[in-house]
Amino acid sequence: MSQYIFPRRIDVRKASKQEAKVSGTIPINQLFRLGSSLHNSTGEVFVSMRFSKDEADRSLVEIETSCNLELTCQRCLEVVKVNMATQARLAMIFPEAKGDYLPLPDGMEALLTNDQCDTWEAVEDELILALPAYPKHPDGNCNLPCSTYSNVNFAELEQKDMTKPFSDLLRLLNNDVKEGDSHGSSKE
Ligand SMILES: [Zn+2]
């Protein structure tokens, strides 16, 4: 089955009037904003868009995407593959619109666009919104040898953390005590 590259720009006014359906793929390595959240930018996003008009004469687009993204596990920092599928119903708001299409019905979001919509940007926005905040492997599947934890001296770590931020404060307090001799918490 051959997949077409999804057209980057679509005349969305025309597409809505014609109730057009468009589908294709976008290479993930072309979505640069999304790329900064990925472990690897391999693969592609499958996209389908269905354009229409509603009874309020809004131009609408339903965007469906699916892809396998390679994210970074926040527990072991190794790659974790995540199946993504997004679905959104968007009302296209053109620059000359002065709020005439608002408010939007429940479940409908706004897509600010010119007549020539950058569809790749719209898809990228949907994926970024759907990214898990803390991607990680299922419990117990991380690549963490037990010894990583057992070798750590927690008491030592704690002491380092505790003394650093308060050392200056302690010095200030000591000075204070010498001058005023009444604020020191050490006397209480
Ligand atoms: Zn992991």
The DSSP annotation for 35-67 comes to: HTT-SB--SEEEEEEEEEE-TT--EEEEEEEEE
Torsion angles phi and psi, residue 149, rounded to 5: -85, -40
Cα–ligand 1 centroid distance for 167 (angstroms): 36
Ligand 1 centroid distance, CA of 132 (Å) = 14
Please tell me the pTM assigned to this model: 0.73
* 120 vs 130: CA distance, rounded Å: 15
Q: What is the mean pLDDT of each run of 10 residues along the chain (188 residues)?
A: 83 97 97 96 97 93 98 95 96 84 87 95 97 94 68 58 58 60 46
pLDDT at position 34: 97
Q: How far apart are CA 52 and CA 16, in angstroms?
A: 4
Residue 188: the pLDDT is 42
Distance 137 CA to ligand 1 centre (A): 4
CA of 188 to the centre of ligand 1 (A): 48
CA of 135 to the centre of ligand 1 (A): 9
Q: Is the bond leading into 138 cis (omega within 30 degrees of zero)?
A: no
Q: Where are the domains of the chain?
A: 9-130, 152-187
